[in-house]
Amino acid sequence: MTRSSRVRRPATLASLAAELGVSRTTVSNAYNRPDQLSTQLRDRVLETARRLGYPGPDPVARSLRTRQARAVGLLLTEELAFAFRDPAALGFLEGLAQACENAGQGLLLIPASARHADLGAVHQASVDGFVVYSVPEGDPHFEAVLRRPLPTVVADQPMNTPGVDRVGVDDRGGMRTLARHLVELGHRRVGVITMRLSNTAFDGFVDPERQGRAAFGVQRERLAGLREGFAEAGVEWSQVPVMERFEHTMAAGAAGADQLLTHHPGLTAVACTSDILALGALRLAAERGWTVPDNLSVTGFDGVPEALAAGLTTVVQPVRAKGLAAGELLLERGDRVEPKSVVLPTELSVGATSGPARAIERWFSGL
């Protein structure tokens, strides 16, 4: 079979029916309801289809009529390729893909990065529902998704979208537990490196006011968890320097740590709101010749494989389960109407990058 023959406009169900001298319904039934016609006729239909090169009912026309596309749309505001680079996103996707596979549904990745000002990709997506992964509040693509009359599940962010299902993790509780861990180790002078808090590029220190205005609820929650945990030990949050980085890379984490530690040399611990940033901070510590955790404690959030392999103290969130839950929430809703919210637990993983603050005090006194 040559390419050109495969690419020519194929026969339609109607032309096949005409060729056979039967009705279109019968041809349709031959494909979709074998029990509705005799075996002989069905075989004759299928045989003729083969002979004419009829590829079977057109999926688009079928979707139009049956009102289902057998696919789930995934909206990420980042570049598509990002999804395959970021370890946490990857875990989520793996779980989501699993859910789709289980249900025999396709998974449509929708190009909706900032490059695409038009919302065409969202409007044009032939899907039965959307999963929205971690987009900022007020994102126009997300709003376009909401206007589509389709069931939608939000993963992580934005939080509190009325009437929309959500699956997330206990960001705040996880970070609170982490903060307590640092407190127990004696840390009182801590710094924070956070992922971007808004959609506009900004790198630098952020005051609590901007923290509260953050367009990313997950970051707000994680910061709030740290605040609460440290508050229990009497650490005033306004005294805790928070460094924001727009990019989510190890390089950004290292740069953030550099700036943070340069302005606040007395810090005994740096808590990062992601593992990637924390790995960057670790790299910076190594560059400065500091020993972790003797000279500095560093913590992350997510529990990505790279971080666990590196022995990072971090909050592990079940990213895979989150993706799976998001998919299932979307696919297994029956005629449920009231929105559902799933919050998965997080777990502190104490690694080799957090240690007693004592040692650090000693180190500084020796300067």
Partner DNA sequence: AGGCCCTTCTGAACCGTTACCGTCATCGGA
Partner DNA sequence: TCCGATGACGGTAACGGTTCAGAAGGGCCT
Q: Looking up tokens 């688009």, which residue turns up? A: 60
Q: Does 148 bind DNA (CB under 7 A)?
A: no
Could you tell me the two tokens for 175?
């970070």
Residues 6+ apart with CB under 8 A from 276: 86, 87, 248, 249, 250, 253, 300, 302, 304
Q: How far is the CB of 91 from a copy of itself (least distance, A)?
A: 8
Q: Which is nearer to a copy of itself, 88 or 197 (CB)?
A: 88
Which of 53, 64, 85, 114 is close enough to bind DNA by CB under 7 A?
64
- Among 164, 271, 167, residue whose Cα is nearest residue 226: 271
How far apart CA 16 and CA 13 sit, in angstroms, is 5
Which of 6, 47, 53, 58 is close enough to bind DNA by CB under 7 A?
58
Q: Does 28 bind DNA (CB under 7 A)?
A: yes
Q: Does 31 bind DNA (CB under 7 A)?
A: yes
- Among 258, 192, 254, residue whose Cα is nearest residue 225: 192
Phi, psi of 315 (to 5 degrees): -100, 120
- Measured CA to CA in angstroms, residue 239 lies from 184, 188, 224, 267, 320 at distances of 19, 10, 14, 11, 36
- Among 154, 162, 116, residue whose Cα is nearest residue 135: 154
Name which of a copy of itself, DNA, none residue 367 binds, using a CB cut-off of 5 to 8 Å depending on partner kind.
none
Q: Does 38 bind a copy of itself (CB under 8 A)?
A: no
Q: Does 117 bind a copy of itself (CB under 8 A)?
A: no
Say if residues 83 and 90 touch (Cβ distance below 8 Å).
yes
129-133 vs 313-316, strand pairing mode: unpaired
- Number of residues engaging a copy of itself in binding (CB under 8 A): 67
Q: How many Cα atoms within 13 Å fall on the side-chain side of residue 317?
A: 31
Q: Does 280 bind a copy of itself (CB under 8 A)?
A: no
Q: Does 14 bind DNA (CB under 7 A)?
A: yes
Check whether the bond before 318 is cis (ω within 30° of 0): no
Name which of DNA, a copy of itself, none residue 141 binds, using a CB cut-off of 5 to 8 Å depending on partner kind.
none
Q: Which is nearer to a copy of itself, 56 or 265 (CB)?
A: 56
How far apart CA 110 and CA 74 sit, in angstroms, is 6
Phi, psi of 288 (to 5 degrees): -80, -5
Q: Does 33 bind a copy of itself (CB under 8 A)?
A: no
Residue 223-262 contact track with a copy of itself, rule CB under 8 A, x = bound: ----------------------------------------
Which of 21, 38, 40, 81 is close enough to bind a copy of itself by CB under 8 A?
81
Q: Does 110 bind a copy of itself (CB under 8 A)?
A: yes
- Measured CA to CA in angstroms, residue 234 lies from 183, 188, 359 at distances of 10, 9, 21
Q: How far is the CB of 16 from DNA (least distance, A)?
A: 7
Residues in contact with a copy of itself by CB under 8 A are 1-4, 6-10, 55-64, 69-71, 73, 79-81, 83-85, 90-91, 93-95, 97-98, 100-101, 104-111, 113, 115-116, 120-121, 123-126, 146-151, 162-164, 337-339
Residues in contact with DNA by CB under 7 A are 9, 12-14, 21-26, 28-29, 31-32, 35-38, 41, 56-58, 61-62, 64-67
